[in-house]
């Protein structure tokens, strides 16, 4: 659990895309951010107040979150200076970098000296149990994809936002590093040891109020041979009551796997539902979320109509149109 609120460290981001983690935090949890910290030459801007470490501390910031990718896989001397000063000022540090904070000797020593925490969100901080399959109270919805990187996290965050706006009880449950930095907690599922994957998801989505929804961030795809095992652990550990199918219609092959075609939405529906019903016999597919970024407005509308007719389910682009029809479908369950 990462202490909030944050000061977002944008470093010397060479372009806005390098700071997409910071952008995610700003977009989805603006209340978690007191400001941004930018170095000379930073080309990213979250439209948050620029603050020094001391100013942000004064404003209540607890954790300096590295919201930017490091260049060349190394934490530079210029970054180091800021991070060490932050520890001295009483900040915890959090990052999802491949380079682990804890493996930088000077940071590790300073954190020990100052009693501060280094959160490397790629690494589990919890000993998860083996899944026991017991039915838990409360409701759960999971986004599953025809492929990796088709908008599952975005869909879950948008759904959580729209459900809260509709007065429903809802919690976004992060299962990847960006999601964990956004909310301050979650399970870095791709780094969990095989035997404990499903158990980590049971741990993440415990008993809750009968009318509470966990909106579980999906990972991978049942049809992506590199990561399908991770996805099935989510389907079985999450015991979803509802599935949302996620798709990107211009993808020509599975991400990183030339020669592997994407499954149809029908195949995803049938396979995911059959497997999900092992853990929850009442599971339903309630709608479809399409990432239409590759289509213009009229193409997107035509595509969504066609999918909706073909599948007999509401189909939306959460980014373009929000998730209202999916929220309504969940309310009816």
Burial 283-292 (b: 16+ CB within 10 A, else e): bbbbbbbbbb
* 263 is a site residue for a copy of itself (CB under 8 A): yes
| Beta partners for residue 242, in sequence order | 141, 284
Q: Looking at beta carbons only, is 4 or 177 nearer to a copy of itself?
A: 177
Tell me which of 10, 13, 84, 131 binds a copy of itself, using CB under 8 A: 131
Q: How far is the CB of 123 from a copy of itself (least distance, A)?
A: 10
* Binding piece for a copy of itself, criterion CB under 8 A, among 43-51, 68-76, 219-227, 292-300: 219-227
Q: Give phi and psi for 119, each to the nearest 5.
A: -100, 110
CB neighbour list of residue 81: distance below 8 Å, 6 or more residues apart = none
Binding of a copy of itself by 287 (CB under 8 A): no
Q: For a copy of itself, which residue of 133, 165, 306, 310 counts as binding (CB under 8 A)?
A: 133
Whichever of 56 and 150 has its CB closer to a copy of itself, that residue is 150
C-beta closer to a copy of itself: residue 115 or 281: 281
Q: Which of 308, 267, 269 is nearest to 290 (CA)?
A: 308
* Beta-sheet strand order (sheet of 118-120): 33-38, 6-11, 63-66, 92-95, 118-120
Contact between 149 and a copy of itself per CB under 8 A: no
Q: Which stretch binds a copy of itself (CB under 8 A): 43-51, 52-60, 230-238, 311-319?
A: 230-238
Q: Specify the stretch interacting with a copy of itself by CB under 8 A; choose among 22-30, 88-96, 128-136, 316-324.
A: 128-136
Q: In whole angstroms, how far apart are CA 322 and each of 25, 115, 142, 173, 226?
A: 18, 43, 17, 19, 31
Report how many residues bind a copy of itself under the rule CB under 8 A: 38
| Cα 168 to Cα 161: distance, rounded to the nearest angstrom | 10
Nearest to 80 by CA among 54, 57, 60, 109: 109
226 binds a copy of itself (CB under 8 A): yes
Q: In the complex, what is the shortest distance from the CB of residue 226 to a copy of itself, in angstroms, rounded to a whole number?
A: 4
Report the residue from 189, 242, 268, 316 that binds a copy of itself according to the rule CB under 8 A.
Answer: 189
For position 236 contacting a copy of itself by CB under 8 A, the verdict is yes
152-165 helix and 324-332 helix, angle to the nearest 10 degrees: 70
Contact between 99 and a copy of itself by CB under 8 A: the answer reads: no
d(CA 122, CA 108): 17
Residue 5: cis peptide before it, omega within 30 degrees of 0:
yes
- What is the nearest approach in angstroms of a copy of itself to the Cβ of residue 128? 11
* Least gap, CB of 265 to a copy of itself (angstroms): 15
Nearest approach in angstroms of CB 254 to a copy of itself is 8
Bridge partners, residue 213, by sequence: 139, 170
- Using the minimum distance from each CB to a copy of itself, give the nearer residue, 61 or 189: 189
Other CB atoms within 10 Å distance of the CB of residue 333: 12
Residues of this chain that bind a copy of itself (CB under 8 A) = 130-133, 189-195, 197-199, 222-223, 225-233, 236-237, 254, 256-257, 259-260, 263, 271, 274-275, 278-279
């Amino acid at each position: 659990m990462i202490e909030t609120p944050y000061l977002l460290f944008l470093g010397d981001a060479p372009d806005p895309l390098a700071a997409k983690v910071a952008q995610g935090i700003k977009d989805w949890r603006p209340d978690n951010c007191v400001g941004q910290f930018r170095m000379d030459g930073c080309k990213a801007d979250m439209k948050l107040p620029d603050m020094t470490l001391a100013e942000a501390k004064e404003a209540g910031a607890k954790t300096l979150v590295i919201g930017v990718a490091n260049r060349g896989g190394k934490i530079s001397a210029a970054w180091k200076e800021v991070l060490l000063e932050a520890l001295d000022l009483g900040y915890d540090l959090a990052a999802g970098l491949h380079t682990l904070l804890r493996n930088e000797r000077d940071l590790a020593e300073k954190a020990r000296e100052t009693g501060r925490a280094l959160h490397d969100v790629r690494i589990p901080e919890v000993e998860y149990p083996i899944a026991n399959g017991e039915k838990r109270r409360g409701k759960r919805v999971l986004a599953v994809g025809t492929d990796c990187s088709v908008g599952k996290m975005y869909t879950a965050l948008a759904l959580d936002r729209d459900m809260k706006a509709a007065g429903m009880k809802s919690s976004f449950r992060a299962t990847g590093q960006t999601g964990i930095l956004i909310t301050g907690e979650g399970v870095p599922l791709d780094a969990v040891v095989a035997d404990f994957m499903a158990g980590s998801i049971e741990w993440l989505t415990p008993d809750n109020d009968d009318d509470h929804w966990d909106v579980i961030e999906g990972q991978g795809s049942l049809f992506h041979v590199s990561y399908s095992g991770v996805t099935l652990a989510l389907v079985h550990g999450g015991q979803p009551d509802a599935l949302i199918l996620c798709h990107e219609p211009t993808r020509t092959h599975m991400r990183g796997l030339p020669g592997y075609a994407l499954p149809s939405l029908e195949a995803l529906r049938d396979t995911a539902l059959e497997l999900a019903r092992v853990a929850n016999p009442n599971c339903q597919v309630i709608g479809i979320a399409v990432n239409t970024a590759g289509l213009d407005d009229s193409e997107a509308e035509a595509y969504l109509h066609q999918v909706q007719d073909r599948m007999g389910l509401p189909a939306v682009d959460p980014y373009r149109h929000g998730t209202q029809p999916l929220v309504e479908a969940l309310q009816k369950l």
